[in-house]
Amino acid sequence: MLRAVHMEWTKLRTLPSMAWWLLGAVGLTLGLSTLVTLSLNVDHCLPHCDVDTARLSLSGVYLGQLAVVAVAALAVAGEYDTMMIRTTLGAAPRRLTVLAAKLAVVTTVVLGCGLLAVLGSLAAGRGILLRHGFTAANGYLPLSLAAEPVRRANLGTVLYLARVAALSLGIGAALRHTAGTVSTMIGLLYVLPIAAQFMSNPVWQARLERYSPMTAGLAIQATRDLAQLPIRPWSGLGVLAGYAAAAVLVGAALFRIRDA
């Protein structure tokens, strides 16, 4: 297993585009989060803004996760695009070990990049929102890891990105096509929440919001009005974990029985 992990790590770090995608995951998350927080000032919505400052400071994840999707898709499906998969399986014939190594390397790298992006967004958001009047004196939760809701939102967001990577990797192993994997992930993450807004049946609308991967997973960022969420924060992250686990299991089964 260690040999397979070393092999996958070597391939990942030497892939020419990989550094740019990882940099993009951090940069897009941090950049969008900063722009969103810069756009809001407490003076614009007196006497009180009904805003979740922790969630606002992490809003860049909506865009940064696309780079995470690409990283995971390239790690698996990219090898089929170039037929590098034949060399990989020639060097490591145990297919499930290869897939497990890919999963370990990709999720570890995404966890590291996600941590950088989240901590950077937290620091930027804290500085900007304090200057814009979102202070404890005005009734807003301080953006500090000492506060349990903020700590949960930030840690949960890092875990969210890792689960998105696992979901993309599983779909990539099943589809064996990079563009198809990215398109499928865009549909799961973005199209389902949009479709929920057009549902005329409120029961089905609530179900779609509760069980769509992104809406459920990002409930972990909420620090206020939790009763109004379609699903509780940790339960939502569990729903996303279920999607990821199912995708990895299906991808592993197909990866094992099909030809390279």
Q: Which residue has the higher pLDDT, 93 or 59?
A: 59
Mean pLDDT in the chain?
88
pLDDT at 122 over 90: yes
Find the mean pLDDT for residues 23-41: 91
Find the mean pLDDT for residues 154-180: 95
Find the mean pLDDT for residues 110-125: 94
Q: Which amino acid is at 149?
A: P
CA distances from 166 to 46, 110, 122, 171, 185 (A): 43, 10, 24, 9, 11
pLDDT of residue 142: 80
For the chain, which residues make up each domain, given as ranges?
2-257
pLDDT band of residue 162 (cuts 50, 70, 90) is very high
pLDDT of residue 199: 78
Q: How far apart are CA 186 and CA 105, in angstroms?
A: 23
pLDDT band of residue 25 (cuts 50, 70, 90) is very high
pLDDT at 211 over 80: yes
pLDDT at 174 over 80: yes
Which one-letter DSSP state was computed for residue 136?
Answer: G
List CB contacts of 155: < 8 A, sequence separation 6 or more. Answer: none
pTM: 0.92
pLDDT of residue 221: 94
pLDDT at 260 over 70: no
pLDDT of residue 259: 63
Q: How far apart are CA 228 and CA 45, in angstroms?
A: 21
Q: Which residue has the higher pLDDT, 221 or 4?
A: 221
pLDDT at 190 over 90: yes
pLDDT at 214 over 60: yes
